[in-house]
Structure 1
Amino acid sequence: MDRYKPKYHFTPPCNWMNDPNGPFQRNGEYHLFYQHNPDAPEWGQIHWGHAKSLDLVNWEHLPIALAPSRDLGEQHCYSGCAVVDGQDVRLFYTSIGEGERNATIGAQQWTVKRDSEDLLSWHKPEFNPVLTGELHGDLQVTEWRDPYVWKEQDGWKMLTGGIHEDKGVALIYRSDNLEEWSFERIYYKGEEGIFECPHIFRFGDKAVLFYSPSAPVQYVTGPWSAEGLKEVEGRGTVDTGGWDGYYASTGFVDEAGRCILLGWMPECRGEDFPVQLDWNGALALPRVVELKPSGRIAMTPVPELASLRGESVTFADVLISEEQSLDTGISSTTFEAAIEIKKPAANAAQVLTISVLASPDGREHTDVRIDFAAGTITLDRSNSSLFSGVRKADMVSELILQEGEESVQLRLFVDQSVVELFAGDEICMTARVYPSLEDSNRILLQSSGEVQISSLEIWEMRAANIS
């Protein structure tokens, strides 16, 4: 058993996984697809894996849903989405071939229809492709990929990502029947060099556009219009993890009306890592997304995760200082912690450090560090592992405190090689860490000055049923 394989985060049954694709809920059942190489724990010959769940926590792996059609010239089935239209379910994806059908200049958008009520068999209609680059006319778009489809009052809409004039763009299309599409315009153009996996959430007359620019996932918000996102009211980073922890997000609206966000967590082991992988990649915890009046988004883990909580330990009104640290006495590599920290007086120079996966000899530890004077929160991996070659870069974010707030609220999820931090409801940090020592499992708190911990509760997390 690989000690670094997460126990309650979604992982493939074996071999490679990257982007989540086409999640939806139908008749109370959640379905998830994902980029998958069924033959090796490395990127290549991309298929779509498939799983289902009743609660977004426990998952049943299903047969592969989508494979490249070699007889049609396909080499890969890149990312895309699912569309539920009454009792009908369709998949849309980017079809990649060889030669002129390469990913840079020759991508096509294809659709897939279900063959069975249980969604275990699918077929590609003969009218594929449903979109080709010729739709763009004189507009030159490269790295064109990752369709995302939803319904508006005037018909079906599709977003794709790509590059135009060396900048990342999200492009928008329209259809009456999900089969015949027309190009409308560039919906949004950024300053980054590429847009991957664009997707959108609608909140009344507002829209939130997410995109992955080969860097931390970004979002922009503003009034919805098919004419494009002209007025940006808010923007931000979804997760500072980037390629190191969180990428290629996608989202869907479930039957309860919740906007659910999913993202991929890459492996970050060095080439000389001593453990041979038979799996690669995992998904971050599903998040519920809401839009705030400020134009920023709020993100919280789905409440269904509480079903995995086991025994807990609680601390209340603990003063941490340079002379007085807190050793929780807990040894765990799979837990959730909820921490409320009283905000120190203005201009206080305290730096609170929460260490997890810490070894008794102090050689290994992963630190969440809050610098109240600087107004920053850092996920520090510089001492996470004695192995060489693993990624150890810090993740830093502004510490966002709403006016009048007197405390900082943290949710911290640790799962073998995953550290997922929620600070308030706007900051998320996801990292992969690989302690080398068998006893790197302690939870400690220390501070450079007096900091009041109003409450700290730590739950041991049971393994999810992912089979």
Structure 2
Amino acid sequence: MQLNLHNPETDEDFFVGFYDPINALELYTWSFISATFDSKTGYVALAFNGKISYETINEDLIGCTLIRSDEPLLIGKYNNPMVEFGVSRQLPSGLLDEVCIYNKSLTPKQMQEEYLSYTNGKHPNLDFSQIALDSSVYEGDRYRPQYHGLPPAVWMNEPHSPFYYKGMYHVFYQHNPSGPYWSQIRWGHIASTDMIHWKYLKDAVVPTKGVCPEGVWTGGACIGPDGQPWLAITAGTNKSTWSGQNIAFAHPKDISDPYLQDWVIEKKVSITQPNDNSQGERDQFRDPYIWYDDGTYYMLVSTSIPGAGGSANVYTSTNMHDWTFRNYLYQCDYNLYPEQGAHWECVILLPISTKDKTKTKYILFDCPQYTVDGYVVDCYYWIGDFDKNSCKFIPDNDKPRLFDMGRGIYTGQNGYCFLTDEDKASGKTNYEDGRTVIYAIAQGKDAGTNQNYYSGWAHNFAIPLELFLSDDGNEVIREPIKEIESLYGETLYELNETKSFNDVNNDISNIRSDSFRIDMNISINSNNEKYQVGLDVRYNKVVSNIGTEKTSITFSNDGVFINRLQSTLHDYVNKQPSYTYQSVKNDYDVIILMDRSMLEVYIDDVMSFTTRVYPKYGNSDYIHFFSENASLNINSMKIIQMKGAYNDNITPAYYGNVGDLEA
């Protein structure tokens, strides 16, 4: 409670604040809050559910009067909240029912009687459905994806901690339910039977007094020694006696619930970072990644080696309670590869095998963090081997490789290798025989925080990818998971013979969609030193005096890239092109996933581009081939309209405030 007061003796205005030192508002239940001030005695009291939680007699307040304000009275919001990126913070996410203001001070007995009068002696229940965030408010949002994983509302950051348990896939994500900005992060939770059609669930783990009061950051998950899922969390604390980032565990409250909606955080942290920099630089200690293999539990914790760049600590255990620090997983030469940054986040290590399972290696991912300007946070990887005795990763080549060429959109990767029920039924037990799937965030930052503010949401999942090792052991094959086929709607166009790009343009000239999949094989022939061919998506046929809109998937003499320079006529969107994949050849296999503002392109199964596009006009929804200084033939092509992952019938994107681009 904050009081703005006037002292008549000194003729001074001042404010004073009081808070409840005992209670925090509980999640998913009603709380009855009372506050009183008596200027005659200086008595101040706060009550929680009818019981006094704080009271004092402050003689300095005797005779002081409340200052009349021209500002509106706000309940549940600060009059002068912290503003960051144009967004007012410090706002609770919840429901507000009865509000009563009295022109008198209440005694403790009267505050208790008020509570009892509302509850009739029985505290009211609140079902989660009454307070769940409502995704229907985004119906018709022109940029919000329709078949990608995403929270029901507001903010998400990286997805993490996936696991498969009793026929259900679970994945968590960094979440702020209060607004489209980063603050007091907790774990959102979604579950699915196919990794495509997701059910929104309660936030699983939240900032908790003692263990993680400052936030619950990215972590990992595995099936523990009790046969039940365990969550390993980054516990954000404000303790000064150890690192502000430590590792704790959470467990399902009701293992019979197929959705595992309620979780309980252990009462103390399990791994604390030493203060002597022996296990990474202090306060660079987060994002635990955990798995079980042949009697041993392994945990990676992202960190940095003091003065030597990013890495990850490796810990092992046989019971998930007693952990032994083993080693730094891998040290990349920071001076030789400065793009690897001063610190690492989201370090994960996964087995990948050839499709025939004759060869298995490991893939190490990281997201470097920088202390100098000039770098973009991206997802990097190495292919190599993991020595389980020394707990060291040995790369085939020390040079880090970009996993995605979208330029900082695909980040915060996480994944798992798991045995399906069918695998187990067939007798498979080896961890490395499992299915390797990776998740990531698809950043929406290119539209800016203003877009977040007005749309009320920020970011979403990239499509889950299944990873394989190429037959030669040098490349990672990435494929959208096969379950995506459940989203297939009408086939809009199918070509099974070679045609010129002009002929195909005639065939597809009337196809309009902002949510589709394209599979195609193209051939290029050019005798020119410089050439460009490709496919425009979110293409507008109109070229006006202010320009046009199109996003060009481009194959050139320099390689493959996504040209976004004309992707929108909005002036606030970052339209920087993607990186260039330096593969120059005569034919390409291409997969394209378009989902409103989401664009994912896969080239020959070994490179991907994840990017965002934000067309301003409603008629920027055509598809069109182009060619400059080269011949372009389409050997095969299939365009499929995609259904929604949350509703088969998608509400059309709303462009009523801008309409179509006109000549």
Q: Does TM, scored on the shorter chain, surpass 0.5?
A: yes
SS of aligned partner of 1:270: helix
8 Å CA contact 1:350, 1:451 repeated in 2: no
2:582 and 2:510 map into 1 onto residues whose CA distance is 28
Who is 1:224 aligned against? 386
1:116 and 1:242 map into 2 onto residues whose CA distance is 42
Shift of 1:456: 1.5
CA RMSD of aligned residues (A): 2.6
Distance 1:27 1:406, change over 3 A: farther
1:447 and 1:219 map into 2 onto residues whose CA distance is 34
Distance 1:304 1:350, change over 3 A: same
1:239 pairs with 2:379: no
Q: Which amino acid aligns with 1:33?
A: F
Question: Is the deviation greater in 426-435 or in 146-155?
Answer: 146-155
8 Å CA contact 1:246, 1:263 repeated in 2: yes
8 Å CA contact 1:208, 1:220 repeated in 2: yes
Q: 2:330 aligns with which of 168, 184, 188?
A: 188
8 Å CA contact 2:498, 2:636 repeated in 1: yes
What does 1:97-246 correspond to in 2, within 5 Å?
97-98=237-238, 100=240, 105-117=243-255, 118=257, 119-126=260-267, 128-134=268-274, 138-142=278-282, 143-153=284-294, 155-164=296-305, 165-190=307-332, 191=334, 192-193=340-341, 194-203=343-352, 206-214=361-369, 215-226=377-388, 227=390, 228-233=392-397, 235-243=400-408, 245-246=409-410
Question: Is the deviation greater in 203-212 or in 340-349?
Answer: 340-349
Question: Is the deviation greater in 22-31 or in 71-80?
Answer: 71-80
Q: Which amino acid aligns with 2:540?
A: S
Question: Is the deviation greater in 116-125 or in 266-275?
Answer: 266-275
1:24 pairs with 2:24: no
Q: Which amino acid aligns with 1:287?
A: L
Distance 1:430 1:135, change over 3 A: same
1:125 and 1:275 map into 2 onto residues whose CA distance is 36
Q: Which amino acid aligns with 2:538?
A: L
1:329 and 1:101 map into 2 onto residues whose CA distance is 66
Who is 2:463 aligned against? 285
8 Å CA contact 1:326, 1:445 repeated in 2: no
1:242 and 1:195 map into 2 onto residues whose CA distance is 18
Who is 2:561 aligned against? 378
1:367 pairs with 2:507: no
8 Å CA contact 1:320, 1:326 repeated in 2: no
Q: 1:430 aligns with which of 604, 610, 617?
A: 610
The structure with more radius of gyration: 2
1:265 pairs with 2:414: no
Q: Which amino acid aligns with 1:161?
A: S
Who is 1:248 aligned against? 412
Structure 1 residues 254-298: Cα deviation after superposition (integer angstroms, max 9, x where no partner): 333210010001212134449712221100001000122333211
1:166 and 1:137 map into 2 onto residues whose CA distance is 12
8 Å CA contact 2:383, 2:396 repeated in 1: yes
8 Å CA contact 1:390, 1:434 repeated in 2: yes
What does 1:85-96 correspond to in 2, within 5 Å?
85=224, 87-96=227-236
The count of aligned residue pairs is 458
Task: Extract unaligned runs of 5+ from structure 1.
Answer: none
1:73 and 1:453 map into 2 onto residues whose CA distance is 56
SS of aligned partner of 1:276: helix
Task: Extract unaligned runs of 5+ from structure 2.
Answer: 1-138, 335-339, 353-358, 370-376, 421-433, 649-663
What does 1:388-427 correspond to in 2, within 5 Å?
388-400=571-583, 407-427=587-607
Distance 1:221 1:135, change over 3 A: farther
Distance 1:200 1:274, change over 3 A: closer
1:366 and 1:82 map into 2 onto residues whose CA distance is 38
Shift of 1:39: 1.2
SS of aligned partner of 2:485: helix
SS of aligned partner of 2:510: strand
8 Å CA contact 2:569, 2:616 repeated in 1: yes
Who is 1:317 aligned against? 498
Distance 1:258 1:397, change over 3 A: farther
SS of aligned partner of 2:454: coil
Who is 2:154 aligned against? 15
Q: Which amino acid aligns with 2:438?
A: L
Question: Is the deviation greater in 380-389 or in 229-238?
Answer: 229-238
Q: Which amino acid aligns with 2:386?
A: W
8 Å CA contact 1:286, 1:301 repeated in 2: yes
SS of aligned partner of 1:195: strand
1:325 and 1:240 map into 2 onto residues whose CA distance is 31
SS of aligned partner of 1:456: strand
Distance 1:3 1:25, change over 3 A: same
2:531 and 2:212 map into 1 onto residues whose CA distance is 61
Shift of 1:378: 0.6
Structure 1 residues 293-336: Cα deviation after superposition (integer angstroms, max 9, x where no partner): 333211000111112111121234121379x8875421110011
Q: Which amino acid aligns with 1:329?
A: N
Q: Which amino acid aligns with 1:42?
A: Y
Shift of 1:389: 2.2
**Percent of aligned positions with the same letter in both sequences?**
25
Q: 1:354 aligns with which of 513, 535, 538?
A: 535
Q: 1:459 aligns with which of 627, 640, 653?
A: 640
Who is 2:454 aligned against? 276
Shift of 1:393: 1.2
Q: Which has the higher contact order (CA 8 A, sep 6+)?
A: 1
Structure 1 residues 141-185: Cα deviation after superposition (integer angstroms, max 9, x where no partner): 242110001123351111111122251112211111111111111
SS of aligned partner of 1:134: coil
Distance 1:140 1:150, change over 3 A: closer
Q: Which amino acid aligns with 1:69?
A: T
